[in-house]
Structure 1
Amino acid sequence: MERNLSIDILKVILAIAVVFLHTRIFYDVSTLLSHVFVQGIFRLAVPIFLVITGYYFFYINSLQRYKAWLKRIFILYAVWMIFYLPIWWTQSFSYNFSVLYNGYYVLWYIQGVLLGGSVLYFCRNINAKKLFIGSLFLFLLGVILQQVGNLHLFQGQMDAELNTYTVHRNFLLMSFPFLTLGFLLNKCQATISNKINIKLWHVIVVVVLVVVESLANYFFISRKESLDQMFSLFIAAPIIFIYVFNQNILGKNKELANLSTAIFLIHPFFIYHLKGYFLNQQTLFSLVVLVCSIFAGLILLQMNKKLKYLL
């Protein structure tokens, strides 16, 4: 079966972006430069990943397929939560329960896909326009909650809650909206392809929009807070996806897609174990973590051929 390798190549690039985001590349060179990439350009990675997932989720169109999909995602989540168990497990029941539900580190993404995808499955027959408006509303709510937290408009416990990632970066306010965008791009592709012709300059413009919004946050809101969600991402992610998808490089090999997944899932392991050796050397640290993740990813590719559900 032929695959669109242009999307697989994009996924590898996105996985690398996630690694550099988490290792705060360039922070030792320039805090402003690091912000542009870490809290700007690299923040495109997860939304685009979700749009890609949502696009192919369109084919989960029966209860049998949904159950098979749900089983696969749940096992993947369970396998990697067990792998990272020695790192996140504590003596606190409430903390352990929170991590089990929300996912350790990048595993929040898998939890978000599992729950957000489930919501989408049961909403898939809603009118496309209503589904889009609903997902847009939820996304905007998430962005607003994040910005209210970053502005510290409240005090005490309320401020602490608003600055907890899971309040705004969760399956309903982030995963579901971007999954829905991808789903609708597939569902309405005939209409969209007739009306929209994405060019490279469109991609450049939306990336610039992301950078501008990131800089606006840097200078006017906060230089320290994370920017998981930005208004521009809702425009930029689908446009970049459409542009790359239309390059249509065909092939049958799934190795690139699996490598991107492997890099994404294994890199927190190297961040945890190597961070103490590269204090104030974020750029070098980023490159070392990436090299280790790619090497480990290649090993995981081979292991996955024998042990399914690793990737």
Structure 2
Amino acid sequence: MERNIRLDYFRIILSLLVITVHTQSLFSNDSLTGWLISNGIGRVAVPCFFLISGYYLHFRLDDNKAIKRYLLHIFIVYIVWSFIYLPTYYNTIEARSLITFAIMGYYHLWYLPALLLGILMLLALKKFIKNNNLLLVSGILLYITGYILENCGLPYRVFCNGIFFGFPFIVLGYYIQKMGYVNVKSLHLYIILFISLITLLLESYQGYKTNIYHNLFLSLYILCPLLIICIQKRAKYNIEKYDISKLAAGIYFVHILVAGQIIPIAETNNIYRLPFIMIVSVLLAIFIVLIDKRIKILL
């Protein structure tokens, strides 16, 4: 099967950006540069992952067996990684919190149940809403709701989930593919991309001034799809024997184990640990990919 190898390599970059989010603070605690990287640029990663999933979802939507296999595979991967991480959090949380972790995911694993729920929401809404524009509007409204909930100071699990985070970007990726917006003129694309990037940094700076971490930025709903469109416009297809996208997934899943157990992060100046965390995560991810070729339950 031909793959857009540029998109696959972009996924690896996204996984490395996630590591910058989880190794704060990169410099001193009051470093603006470190904040803008970890709590600004790094925040494009997860929305882009959801977008890519939504973009390629149309290949499975009309095939009930394919979509069921896909959803079951995501669920199995989630269960496996939840068990892998179980020793790291089992003795540190209350019994009632354990239920929350099981349903919504431990730390970065929240992405998998959010992906599952987001896809299920899209499948359900498509039965009642035939107009793709209305589907997109539903995603926008839910994302704005999540943005408001976060700014009300509610716990991150209230808005970092499949309803307010996963579905809005999944339906956006699906919409881009269906409506063919990869054909946007390059000049217009780059201008809007630059403006949305500056807007993201300004939103991040507001969080820096108040020392409040944000996951949902309004600019992400414009910036992230533009990044995907840019890559798709310059797609380079090739028959890859080695699935680079699985390497990206391996990095994403294993990096918390590396940053927590193998190369523990410190309270400050993690920029010195960051390269080692990334290298070890990549090496372990390669090993995980090799194992997954045989058992196919890790990625």
1:239 paired to 2:226: yes
Contact 2:189–2:226 (CA<8 Å) still a contact in 1?
no
Which of 25-34 and 171-180 deviates more? 25-34
- Superposed displacement of residue 203, structure 1: 2.9
Q: Per the alignment, in what secondary structure is the counterpart of residue 218 of structure 2?
A: coil
1:296 and 2:281 correspond: no
- Select which of 117, 137, 140 maps to 1:136: 140
Name the residue aligned to 2:163: 172
Q: Which residue of 2 aligns with 1:113?
A: 115
Q: Percent identity?
A: 27
Q: Is the 8 A contact 1:141 1:173 kept in 2?
A: yes
- The farther-off stretch of 28-37 and 166-175 is 28-37
The CA deviation at 1:187 is 1.3
Q: Displacement, 1:89?
A: 1.5
Change (3 A) 1:278 1:194: closer
Can you list the C-alpha shifts for 1:11-32, whole angstroms capped at 9, x where unaligned?
0000000011110253338521
In 2: Cα distance, 1:15 partner to 1:202 partner? 24
| Alignment deviations for residues 83-115 of structure 1 (CA, whole Å, 9 cap, x no partner) | 111112137321111100110111100110011
Report the alpha carbon displacement of residue 46 of structure 1 after superposing the two structures with TM: 0.6
CA contact (8 A) 2:54 2:172 kept: yes
Q: CA deviation at 1:141?
A: 0.5
| Alignment partners' CA distance in 1, 2:178 and 2:158 | 30
Aligned partners of 1:85, 1:39: CA distance in 2, in Å?
A: 27
Question: Residue type of the partner of 2:157?
Answer: T
8 A contact 2:142–2:164 mirrored in 1: yes
- d(CA) in 2 for partners of 1:49 and 1:21? 15
Q: TM-score, normalised by structure 2?
A: 0.92
**AA paired with 1:136?**
I
Question: Deviation at 1:80?
Answer: 0.4
Match for 1:39: what amino acid?
A: N
User: Which position in structure 1 is the counterpart of 2:74?
Assistant: 73
Residues in 2 aligned to 1:122 and 1:49: alpha-carbon distance in whole angstroms: 21
TM-score (norm 1): 0.89
Structure 1 outlier segments of 4+, above 6 Å = none
Q: Which moved more, 1:164-173 or 1:203-212?
A: 203-212
Could you tell me which amino acid in structure 1 is paired with residue 286 of structure 2? L
Partner of 2:87: 86
Structure 1 Cα separation of the partners of residues 265 and 146 of structure 2:
36
1:204 — aligned with what?
A: 194
- Please name the residue that 1:56 is paired with: 56
Gaps of 5+ in 2: none
After superposition, residues 177-196 of structure 1 pair within 5 angstroms as 177-189=168-180, 192-193=181-182, 196=185
**CA distance in structure 1 between the aligned counterparts of 2:256 and 2:88, rounded to whole angstroms:** 10
Distance 2:38 2:245 in 1: 23
- 2: distance between equivalents of 1:194 and 1:95? 47
- Where does the alignment leave 5 or more consecutive residues of structure 1 unmatched? 150-161
Q: Give the distance between the partners of 2:115 and 2:57, measured in 1 at CA.
A: 10
Distance in 1 between residues matched to 2:106 and 2:38, nearest whole Å: 20
Q: Counterpart amino acid of 1:303? A: I
Pair 1:196–1:123, CA change in 2 (3 A): farther
- Residues 260/54 of structure 1: CA separation in 2 closer, same or farther (3 Å cut): same
CA-based RMSD of the aligned residues comes to 1.8
Show CA shifts across 1:167-224 (max 9, x none): 11111000000000001111111xx3455546444433322221111113323xx21x
* Cα offset, 1:304, TM superposition: 1.4
What CA distance in whole angstroms lies between the structure 2 residues aligned with 1:276 and 1:187? 44
**Are 1:5 and 1:251, in contact at CA under 8 Å, matched by a contact in 2?**
yes
- Once the two structures are superposed, what CA deviation does each residue of 1:112-134 show, in whole Å capped at 9, x if it has no partner? 00111111112235211111111
> Aligned to 1:228, what secondary structure does the other structure show?
coil
Superimposed CA distance per residue, residues 205-256 of structure 1 (whole angstroms, 9 cap, x where no aligned partner): 322221111113323xx21x22100110011110111001111111122431
In 2, the alpha carbon distance for the partners of 1:217 and 1:99 equals 27
- Count of residue pairs brought into register by the alignment: 293
Question: How many angstroms apart in 2 are the aligned matches of 1:124 and 1:97?
Answer: 31
2:216 counterpart SS class = coil
Residue 216 of structure 1, aligned match among 206, 213, 219: 206
